[in-house]
């Protein structure tokens, strides 16, 4: 009879192999399908400026959003399982599975030509995601990592409102010449992440900017959830760190956010415009919000030292 350790190693390597194959298949399928969609829309070169109708500027990013959700959710569930063995990662794998199932449906729903090869690549990816979810749910330990304290819920609510106000208010004054708007809403996201960790930071990042998008009327609000929600989760890794390390982590999270928007902009506006937007997001929005957030957090910790003690409980494994 094999030992538990040997069984665990076999499970871990199975997850690693499934994750690698799944990511490769989804990425290849998305690349093939995107090339067909762009060709159908008359786009022959994403290296130059692209001008798409407004409807297509929503449909193409929506396809990209589901693609990103499939890939990011699968990677997250697998990597967290490998580190912590928590059962809830199986639910993230199910999210990846649902998103991947939607991928071949969207082109048909939008009357785009579909790729048979792309669908053939997605079929085994869907099967492997289902297997991965089943393995994680079967062998992972059920640990209550999503519980929020009353303080965390209150902080998430108030800071989400602050992020929405900062995003919508400053965004209305600083529209971008390339589309979208420049804002300092990331300041509230970063502050939430540094004070309360990844869970609250991710929640504030997903909710606050989304509300601002709906207020201002930004049509690609669904990208915001992925971009700023992930940004808040990454920024939360800086909780309790030294200021230089916090600054580096905040900048990294901002680069993640800017990269998500950059990828979308490449396919709907072309590379030249996407580069301009990327530079604006990194050197304007992210850099400025990082400086403000660090100043705010240090001031709060100095004025309310008891805050760090009340929220100093380690984030549950994630």
CATH of the domain at 66: 1.20.140
Q: From residue 102, how far is each of 96, 124, 227, 261 by CA, in Å?
A: 10, 14, 20, 21
Last residue of a domain, one of 84, 106, 139: 139
pLDDT of res. 313: 42
| Cα distance between residue 1 and residue 208, in whole Å | 53
In a domain, 318, yes or no: no
How many domains would you assign to the chain?
Answer: 2
Question: Is 189 in the same domain as 283?
Answer: yes
| Cα distance between residue 98 and residue 59, in whole Å | 18
Question: Is 154 in the same domain as 134?
Answer: no
Question: Is 105 in the same domain as 156?
Answer: no
In a domain, 316, yes or no: no
Contact 29, 121 (CB under 8 A): yes
Question: Is 100 in the same domain as 173?
Answer: no
Question: Is 98 in the same domain as 195?
Answer: no
Contact 177, 190 (CB under 8 A): no
pLDDT of res. 1: 43
Contact 178, 49 (CB under 8 A): no
In a domain, 145, yes or no: no
In a domain, 66, yes or no: yes
Question: Is 107 in the same domain as 203?
Answer: no
Question: Is 166 in the same domain as 303?
Answer: yes
In a domain, 315, yes or no: no
What is the distance, to the nearest Å, from the Cα of residue 309 to the centroid of all Cα atoms in its chain?
29
One DSSP character per residue, 277-290 reads: HHHHIIIIIIHHHH
Question: Is 65 in the same domain as 135?
Answer: yes
In a domain, 36, yes or no: yes
pLDDT of res. 12: 74
Range of the domain at 295: 150-310
Q: What angle do CA 236, 21, 91 make, to 5 degrees?
A: 45
Last residue of a domain, one of 139, 165, 200: 139
10-residue mean pLDDT profile of the chain (318 residues): values are 52 79 94 95 89 93 96 82 67 90 96 94 93 76 66 92 88 60 87 94 96 89 95 95 96 96 94 91 92 93 67 43
Last residue of a domain, one of 139, 158, 193: 139
Residue 196: CATH number of its domain: 1.10.1760.20
Question: Is 54 in the same domain as 110?
Answer: yes
pLDDT of res. 80: 73
In a domain, 317, yes or no: no
Question: Is 289 in the same domain as 198?
Answer: yes
In a domain, 124, yes or no: yes
Question: Is 248 in the same domain as 220?
Answer: yes
| Cα distance between residue 17 and residue 203, in whole Å | 31
pLDDT of res. 145: 53
Question: Is 58 in the same domain as 91?
Answer: yes
């Amino acid at each position: 009879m094999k030992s538990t350790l040997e069984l665990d190693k076999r499970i871990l390597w199975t997850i690693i192999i499934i994750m690698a194959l799944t990511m490769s298949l989804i990425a290849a399928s998305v690349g093939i399908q995107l090339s067909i969609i762009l060709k159908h829309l008359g786009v022959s070169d994403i290296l130059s400026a692209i001008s798409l109708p407004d409807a297509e500027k929503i449909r193409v990013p929506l396809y990209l959003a589901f693609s990103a959700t499939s890939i990011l959710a699968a990677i997250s569930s697998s990597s967290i399982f490998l580190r912590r063995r928590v059962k809830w990662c199986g639910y993230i794998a199910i999210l990846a599975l649902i998103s991947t199932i939607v991928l071949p449906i969207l082109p048909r729903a939008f009357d785009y030509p579909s790729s048979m090869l792309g669908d053939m690549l997605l079929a085994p990816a869907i099967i492997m995601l289902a297997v991965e979810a089943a393995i994680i749910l079967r062998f992972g330990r059920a640990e209550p990592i999503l519980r929020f304290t009353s303080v965390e819920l209150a902080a998430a609510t108030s800071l989400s409102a602050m992020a929405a106000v900062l995003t919508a208010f400053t965004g209305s004054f600083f529209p971008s010449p390339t589309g979208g708007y420049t804002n300092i809403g990331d300041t509230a996201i970063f502050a939430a992440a540094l004070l309360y960790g990844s869970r609250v930071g991710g929640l504030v990042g997903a909710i606050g900017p989304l509300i601002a998008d709906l207020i201002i009327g930004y049509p690609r609000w669904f990208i915001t959830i992925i971009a700023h929600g992930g940004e808040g989760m990454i920024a939360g890794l800086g909780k309790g760190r030294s200021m230089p390390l916090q600054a580096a982590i905040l900048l990294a999270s901002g680069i993640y956010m800017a990269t998500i928007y950059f990828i979308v902009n490449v396919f709907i506006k072309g590379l030249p415009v996407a580069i301009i937007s990327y530079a604006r997001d990194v050197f304007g929005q992210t850099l400025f919000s990082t400086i403000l957030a660090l100043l705010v957090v240090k001031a709060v910790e100095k004025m309310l030292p008891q805050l760090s003690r009340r929220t100093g409980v380690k984030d549950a494994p994630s």
